[in-house]
Chains A and B, each alone.
Chain A
């Protein structure tokens, strides 16, 4: 269960080189930890033992206390799923919880449904509501999402308190949970077992997700949404879907809670929503176990500390304040810090003692070269189950075909001059095509149109001879068109290798359904290994392999650019669009990237290169298109364009 980056721990360098203070405990991205399974088994055994003790030997009071704590732990884990992984700070969870509890009670009391049919019913129904609520996140995010979901909770509690069928302020008497059948009698209280089992499932689901390749993609949706989309992730669907799962868990918590005795609106009001978020943050957001600790603390502390109630509240508030000010990462941050101090284990391997430039970093290991990348892709095609399923990789055999064909494309951001006006843009397959122009000439807009982030208002775009469909960037990525961004858009909290892994998203078969149970799938083990190999290959290919375990936040700009490049080529695309990949690089690094582009081309990949500096472009590119004020000034072979009088005038300033 300890979420520590493993490979750093087992390697010799780890203990030798102390990580800097910024070696954040959150660097552990929680995957592929060989020794973790026994830890997990021990933890699960401990959890079951504790449950047995409480359910069998505990007093009724203790059982009630643990039951409430476990219900809130389920809620906290479910909120952590969306707040931690995709940044949806929902204050609607009390409302979802209420729906589960009221739904169960009403359907049982009035319609006499079977209690165990009601669990899936409750999860499904509340999950559906969650999907609706999740769609709000497309319109509002951050604080506004919190506020909108907060109102949802308010509405639910108002309905619960002001209408007759919900019993008003008095509430409703809930169903009674059946005891164990005779042969299981030795287990003790059945409801507690049921609740703890649900909590365990929720935690395992969350941990499974955390260790699956979907996790880096979810973080990318949270922190670097364009990057996730360019890697082929349908970001909106994933966010909504995850919110639905989270809501279903809240529905399950409501189901358990309805057996408590009686339910009333006061148990589900907005302060409960805030409390759940407090549990998550206090415990440590995006850590799964932390929120469980937070829930246990917040629900048990007030019941156990028997002093003057006012002083108790003051102490409670003081603990909130103290913990979060001293350990902003919450209880789990505290646990990890203590673990690090006790065992001398640091979550992230220290930065490699690396030469200053990427180019130099490339020297020690011979570049893999695209051929191997492509070969791997081809091999993947023969084993459709395997990760690298770039079904038809670049085909160097037909260099005459067009990779990109834009005709008469127009786009304007608002009323006013269009950013791109009536542009024809043709890229031959297997060529390096330069797209140049002064600032504001429409280069990035054109690229966003090709990559699907924007939709043209007029004109047609064909990729590989077929018109683009309605799909956005994700569909383009799946069709083999990947891209990088001008300013590196990456997940700062994850390692370089994990960021490259995001680029493989579209190549992992059925990753979403497999993600929650990822750690126990044999096929996942193989796919995970293949992914790591592919990512390592791609990093070696761009010459950043010494940095694979460093967090993006700690690596220099040049390495971030190379990481983007590696993430764009790792899936073996047909064409890559590079938006100013040379910006901010040193001359040696520029040389290095030029070599990489040459290799991509020789492997048959088409490269669209947006650049500012003409001297690189004309040397590097086969063909060049020059934009100015949203229109094509010149297009054709590099040498011709260079001699074009208007280009010299408009762009080269001659």
Chain B
């Protein structure tokens, strides 16, 4: 049981990071970046390529993350900004970001070949016993890193002017722009953030999956499902969605059968979406109404 939860958290943390990458880009631009999984792949491939030259591993990992961030910004500039300039409400970004995903994936296959290649082992060799469960140090670090990223993101979003400007842009770009927020820059930063989260996820998962140009598909779809569980209203909800998805996968593998991880999580997602169409962490208007009720008398006094 403990093993299931811990392994699930480790898998889910990676899904959650990818989901946060989806969420942060969606949050500011209302676009689902279908190349998000490919950003993870870019980080893994670039880090592996640098490591193979014999460079210091830390340098390789940093290079991978930076490459993913650059790819994220590139996606925005090439595929998202032009179609949003045409219409903020069209779904044209679906086609253009998918185009970017195809290009990234196949260019990677052309450069590094379509098969799996090595990735620095990092901490994957060392095991840790927690109660009855065994994890690798890499898995532990993954869980810790994901939580740290989620918490620091939330702090930036809520406590800094920059984060608040991001929320304003998310809520009403025109109004935010009229008040002086640089919506274009905000979107660039959001896509860099999408690349950052995917990149971190990539270097965390690399030692387990090795480098492979098709990683983007697997993790892109898992991250997307995690996003649906958590809902798009809050990027941190996406992280929780990822953790839940990871645990569900591990649980269905050990409780039902190995194939069940293909479908059991989706059954749960269906139930969640039927009950809460906007994801687990959407706040219903009713709840907000109750909040206002509490606050009202105080406002009246002052």
Contacts and interface: CB of A to CB of B under 8 A. Distances in A.
A89 B99 contact: no
Contacts of B245: none
Which of B82, B106, B221, B262 has the most CB atoms of chain A within a 10 A radius of its CB? B106
A144 to B, nearest CB: 5
B289 to A, nearest CB: 4
A321 B96 contact: yes
B102 interface: yes
A431 B223 CA distance: 61
A318 B99 contact: yes
Contact of B228 (A147, A155, A274): A147
A147 B95 contact: no
Interface string B81-113: 011001100111011101111110111011000
Contacts of B78: 321, 325
Nearest to A168: B259
Given A147-B228, A314-B103, A274 B293 contact: no
Contact of B103 (A139, A158, A318): A318
A187 B131 CA distance: 74
Interface residues of B, number: 46
B91 A324 contact: no
A148 B278 CA distance: 10
Interface in B232-247: 232
A89 B91 contact: yes
Interface string B268-302: 01100100011000000110011011001000000
A159 B98 CA distance: 27
B95 A324 contact: yes
A469 interface: no
Contact of A277 (B94, B103, B296): B94
B105 A162 contact: no
Contact of B293 (A148, A155, A328, A415): A415
B79 interface: yes
A419 B78 CA distance: 48
Given A311-B110, A321-B78, A151 B94 contact: no
A321 B76 CA distance: 12
Interface string B219-233: 001000000100010
Which of B34, B83, B95, B278 has the most CB atoms of chain A within a 10 A radius of its CB? B95
A324 B32 contact: no
A108 interface: no
Contacts of B98: 274, 278, 317, 320
A282 B277 CA distance: 29
A162 B263 contact: yes
B229 to A, nearest CB: 10
Interface string A569-587: 0000000000000000000
A89 B79 CA distance: 20
Contact of A328 (B86, B114, B289): B86
Nearest to B288: A414
A637 to B, nearest CB: 37
A151 B101 CA distance: 21
Given A139-B277, A140-B277, A310-B110, A324 B105 contact: no
B210 to A, nearest CB: 19
B267 interface: yes
A62 interface: no
A318 B96 CA distance: 9
Interface string A152-170: 0011001101100000000
A314 B293 CA distance: 56
B265 to A, nearest CB: 10
A415 B289 contact: yes
Contacts of B269: 151
A324 B83 contact: yes
A162 B34 CA distance: 27
A313 interface: yes
Contacts, number: 123
Interface string B156-197: 000000000000000000000000000000000000000000
Given A151-B228, A155-B270, A416-B293, A328 B278 contact: no
A489 to B, nearest CB: 16
A60 interface: no
A310 B232 contact: no
Contacts of A274: 34, 94, 98
A282 B83 CA distance: 12
A76 to B, nearest CB: 13
A313 B100 contact: no
Contacts of B99: 316-322, 324
B292 A416 contact: yes
Given A324-B96, A325-B82, A317 B101 contact: yes
B273 A328 contact: no
Contact of B114 (A83, A310, A320, A323): A310
Which of B34, B92, B228 has the most CB atoms of chain A within a 10 A radius of its CB? B92
B110 A154 contact: no
Nearest to A223: B89
A155 B91 contact: no
A25 interface: no
Interface in B106-131: 106-107, 109-110, 114
Interface string A558-599: 000000000000000000000000000000000000000000
A105 B27 CA distance: 44
Contacts of B79: 321, 325
Interface in A263-320: 270, 274, 277-278, 281-282, 285, 308, 310-311, 313-314, 316-320
A194 interface: no
B272 to A, nearest CB: 10
A151 B270 contact: yes
A516 B170 CA distance: 40
Which of A139, A147, A319 has the most CB atoms of chain B within a 10 A radius of its CB? A147
Interface string A132-143: 000000011001
B153 interface: no
Contacts of B90: 281, 285, 328
Contact of A415 (B32, B277, B290): B290
Contacts of A144: 273, 277-278
A154 B267 CA distance: 9
Interface string A405-417: 0000000011110
24 contacts: A139-B277, A148-B273, A148-B277, A151-B266, A161-B262, A162-B259, A162-B262, A274-B34, A274-B94, A277-B91, A277-B94, A281-B94, A285-B90, A313-B105, A316-B99, A317-B98, A317-B100, A320-B95, A321-B96, A321-B99, A321-B103, A325-B79, A414-B289, A416-B296
Interface of B: 32, 34, 78-79, 82-83, 86-87, 90-92, 94-96, 98-103, 105-107, 109-110, 114, 221, 228, 232, 259, 262-263, 266-267, 269-270, 273, 277-278, 285-286, 289-290, 292-293, 296
Given A274-B98, A308-B110, A311-B106, 19 more contacts: A144-B273, A151-B273, A154-B266, A155-B263, A158-B262, A281-B92, A310-B109, A313-B103, A313-B106, A316-B102, A317-B99, A317-B101, A320-B95, A321-B79, A321-B103, A328-B83, A328-B87, A415-B290, A416-B293
